[in-house]
Structure 1
Amino acid sequence: MKIVSTNIGEQKKINWKGKEVFTGIFKYKVGKPIFLDKEEVKGDTICNRENHGGILQAVYGYSLKHYDYFKKLYPDLNFEMGIFGENLTIDDLDETKIHQGDTFKVGETILEATVQRDPCYKLGIRFNNMKIVKQFWNTTFCGVYFKVIQIGFVKDGDIFEQIKSCPQNPTIANLYVVAKRTATFE
């Protein structure tokens, strides 16, 4: 696995059902190294600290291979890197093969896979179509949140070198399937 794009976003105000809400889901390729800190990516906006950021969700990675599936569903949409709200677009991130606790050396950092990303209405806002939320849930293409064990910079082209494997733990996809059973859709 390797990073194909580093992505960050600024706070954006949107109208949702007559209310103003703020989001950081509008992330775009920056084409330069980004600093992964203990609870966040420096320079990236996190508006909902209850569900994003923090020790267990400091960095969000998503697979470029998953883009192909959604491009078929949304052929007229401009699929820019970061469209899923990810900080790291990774060439071949497979949630069915990554276990909770698996650890990787990436650039200057060490990252540990922690949990899945559960979609919310803000993904629908980014896609300008609320159908994406259920379509996202109906796959195992959830992406992976990472804990930052060692802070530092990562950049496009950096390789994920696995340094710890935890096959006794559930895969990220298994965690996602369990979360899906209790999900409510807005």
Structure 2
Amino acid sequence: MTAEVLAICVGLPKPFNGAELSAIDKQPVDGIAHIRSFGIEGDMVADTKHHGGPDMAVHHYPRDHYAGWSDWLGGHDLLSRPAAFGENIHAEGLTEETVRIGDRFHLGSALLEVSQPRQPCWKIDHRFGQKGMVARIVKQHNCGWYYRVIEEGDAKAGDRLEQIETGHEDWTVGRLFAKLFDPAQKATREELEQITTLERLCLPWRDRARQKLDR
């Protein structure tokens, strides 16, 4: 699998909702982006409790979903430019239904590994000024995902994400997200047990599956 990278985007925390800060408003890097184990140089998170760290170093949200969102919203200015959803990687050609947990991709000279789906929060509704967006993500599983950085490197807009290794064969990003978040696709005990054994899935999501087993 490959995808064309249309933009690599970064942002710094700024006022978002009263005293609340957020770095969801990202802008394309002009030239070379330096991809490090902690993320892309020039990119920061405001909420270090729920964001950031090696397993959430780089965020990818498929541009493939933008047209559907535009139809649902009746158009929106944010969808006319990259990083409407606060993504670092603005690309076409990969979606949650094709990308697996643990898949590895070259991007420029960096090596990235899919570590977890993105769990949506209220900030998406607030950014777009539209209630119900998070609920739609939960229903449609168009959540996006995070990469951990296996090898640091440099990349730029116009480069391609090129898959070099397949991760956990039966566990796409979309399926995993659905089983842990969509009430209509509640995981079976066997599926939860499988999730706890996915070595390339970040530990907090494996722990989430264990907690559901315990209940």
* TM-score, normalised by the number of residues in structure 1: 0.89
Structure 1 residues 169 and 50, CA gap change in structure 2 (3 angstroms): farther
Q: Deviations over 1:25-66 (max 9, x none)?
A: 111223422221112221112011222221111000111111
Q: Residue 178 of structure 1: CA displacement? A: 2.2
Q: Does 1:175 align with 2:211?
A: no
Aligned to 1:65: 64
Is residue 6–residue 32 contact of structure 1 (8 Å, CA) maintained in 2?
no
| Bigger relative CO (Cα 8 Å, ≥ 6 apart) | 1
Q: Which residue of 1 aligns with 2:165?
A: 164
Q: Distance in 2 between matches of 1:169 and 1:136?
A: 21
TM-aligned CA deviation for residue 167 of structure 1: 4.5
Question: Can you give the 5+ residue segments of structure 2 that lack an aligned partner in the other structure?
Answer: 184-215
Q: Describe the superposition over 1:120-153 as per-residue Cα deviations: whole angstroms up to 9, x where unpaired.
A: 0111121112321212222121112001001111
CA contact (8 A) 1:34 1:155 kept: yes
State the alpha-carbon separation in 1 of the partners of residues 4 and 179 from structure 2.
28
- Distance across 2 between alignment mates of 1:14 and 1:63: 23
| Mapping 1:31-180, distance limit 5 Å | 31-78=30-77, 79=79, 80-180=81-181
Higher fraction of helix: 2
Q: Is the 8 A contact 2:10 2:28 kept in 1?
A: yes
Structure 1 outlier segments of 4+, above 4 Å: none
What is the one-letter code of the residue matched to 1:5?
A: A
Rounded Cα–Cα distance in structure 1 between residues aligned with 2:58 and 2:117: 11
- Cα distance in 2 for partners of 1:181, 1:23 equals 26
In the alignment, the residues of structure 1 paired with residue 83 and residue 125 of structure 2 have an alpha-carbon distance, to the nearest angstrom, of: 14
Q: Percent identity?
A: 27
Match of 2:16 in 1: 14
The 8 Å contact of residues 56 and 115 in structure 1, kept in 2 or not, is answered as yes
- Give the total of aligned pairs: 179
* Aligned-residue offset at 1:106: 1.0
Answer yes or no: is the 8 Å Cα contact 2:125–2:132 preserved in 1: yes
- Indicate the RMSD between aligned Cα atoms, in angstroms: 1.6
SS in 2 for 1:160: strand
